[in-house]
């Protein structure tokens, strides 16, 4: 499939699944098979049998590595020789830089000047050449387009790329292999790459009856788009879940319309409370975007006792202030 194609209902389901299986083969031995974690307390609080797919333990700390490596490894020899460019506030930036390092491909990353410092530094350490821009979608795209014009780079879009989506889908494929079929799956939605891949694989294989997206209330463009039936542009999102501030593409929106049952919204307070629970009770470091899908389970309206899988998308948190505080105490 090309980047502009959706999955036609008449297309053989085997062909759709095969595309994702081929992505899984490319990633075999490269990506981490991330663990499943459970909590009796979480099960008691929600009334569900909950399985967390912890992509915070993925290489570079997020599911994004799956899609980036699949996309870069699928390029032609000439594209690999010239190099790639992308725009990202953090996790996709790190993923493309690391994938490029492993594959010997030059990577240039356009990052907004308000991107988290921890993600900027990690991207640089993975070998990416960083070009800063103003923190707007227009600035990101214009900067990328100029770099493509000047150097002939190939754009590896964070989510508007079928190879990125198919790579992301391998996370839920692993989830089913680890715990079996599920009554429902929840994944966060920002640009829509992860929820698209998750929903496509879950529904086309019949391994989950329901697929839900989770989104911050303060960045609810996907929620409003699904209800309107057309894309509502993201407008000045004000959420701590920085990885979910992006807007949908036409490609991911069509997948959401076709495969996602509903989108559940969570407040900033709910995101913080969920992060605290995951850190203190389950001892796993999860970033705000990664906590959104777990926070949404309180809104889930399906039969109690159901088996629910949740994609925890990442764990890249800037802990510099925390450790600086500890350092000051040590050196008093």
Is 257 inside any structural domain?
yes
Residue 2 pLDDT grade (very low, low, confident, very high; cuts 50, 70, 90): very low
Interval 217-231: pLDDT, tens? 999 999 999 999 999
| Model pLDDT, residue 27 | 98
Domain count, the chain: 2
Are 80 and 47 found together in one domain? no
Active site residues: 64, 89
> Is the separation of the CB atoms in 232 and 225 below 8 Å?
yes
Beta strands in 163-299 (DSSP E): 182-188, 208-216, 262-266
Are 240 and 307 found together in one domain? yes
Is the pLDDT assigned to residue 13 strictly greater than 90? no
Are 250 and 101 found together in one domain? no
Are 177 and 285 found together in one domain? yes
Q: What angle do CA 259, 263, 269 make, to 5 degrees?
A: 150
| pTM score, whole prediction | 0.92
Spatial distance between the Cα atoms of 173 and 1, rounded to a whole number of angstroms = 19
Is 114 inside any structural domain?
yes
Is 322 inside any structural domain?
no
- Residues contacting residue 202 through CB under 8 Å, at least 6 positions apart: 172, 176, 182, 185, 208, 211, 259
Are 180 and 43 found together in one domain? yes
| Model pLDDT, residue 130 | 96
Interval 60-99: pLDDT, tens? 999 999 999 999 999 999 999 999 999 987 899 999 999 9
Residue 291 sits in a domain of what CATH number? 3.40.50.1100
Residue 253 pLDDT grade (very low, low, confident, very high; cuts 50, 70, 90): very high
Is the pLDDT assigned to residue 5 strictly greater than 60? no
Q: Domain limits at 70? A: 64-155
Residue 12 pLDDT grade (very low, low, confident, very high; cuts 50, 70, 90): low
């Amino acid at each position: 499939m090309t980047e502009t194609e959706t999955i036609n209902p008449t297309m053989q389901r085997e062909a759709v699944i095969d595309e994702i299986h081929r992505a899984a083969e490319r990633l075999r031995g490269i990506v981490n098979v991330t663990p499943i974690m459970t909590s009796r307390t979480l099960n008691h609080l929600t009334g569900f049998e909950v399985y967390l797919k912890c992509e915070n333990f993925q290489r570079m700390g997020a599911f994004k590595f799956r899609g980036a490596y699949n996309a870069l490894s699928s390029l032609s020899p000439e594209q690999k020789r010239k190099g790639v460019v992308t725009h990202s506030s953090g996790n996709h930036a790190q993923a493309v830089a690391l994938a490029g390092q492993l594959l010997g491909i030059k990577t240039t990353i356009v990052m907004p000047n308000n991107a988290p410092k921890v993600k900027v530094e990690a991207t640089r350490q993975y070998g990416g050449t960083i070009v800063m821009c103003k923190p707007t979608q227009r600035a990101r795209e214009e900067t990328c387009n100029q770099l493509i014009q000047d150097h002939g780079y190939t754009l590896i879009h964070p989510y508007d790329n079928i190879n990125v989506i198919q790579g992301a889908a391998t996370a839920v494929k692993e989830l089913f292999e680890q715990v079996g079929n599920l009554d429902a799956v929840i994944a966060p939605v920002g640009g829509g790459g992860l929820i698209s891949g998750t929903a496509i694989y879950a529904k086309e294989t019949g391994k989950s009856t329901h697929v839900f997206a989770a989104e911050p209330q303060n960045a609810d463009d996907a929620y409003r788009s699904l209800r309107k039936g057309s894309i509502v542009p993201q407008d000045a999102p004000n959420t701590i879940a920085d990885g979910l501030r992006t807007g949908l593409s036409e490609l991911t929106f069509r997948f959401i319309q076709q495969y996602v049952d509903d989108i559940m919204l969570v407040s900033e307070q709910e995101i913080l409370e969920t992060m605290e629970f995951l850190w203190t009770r389950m001892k796993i470091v999860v970033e705000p975007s990664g906590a959104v899908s777990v926070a949404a389970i309180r809104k889930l309206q399906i039969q109690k006792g159901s088996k629910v899988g949740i994609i925890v998308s990442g764990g890249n948190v800037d802990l510099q202030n925390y450790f600086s505080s500890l350092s000051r105490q040590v050196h008093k």
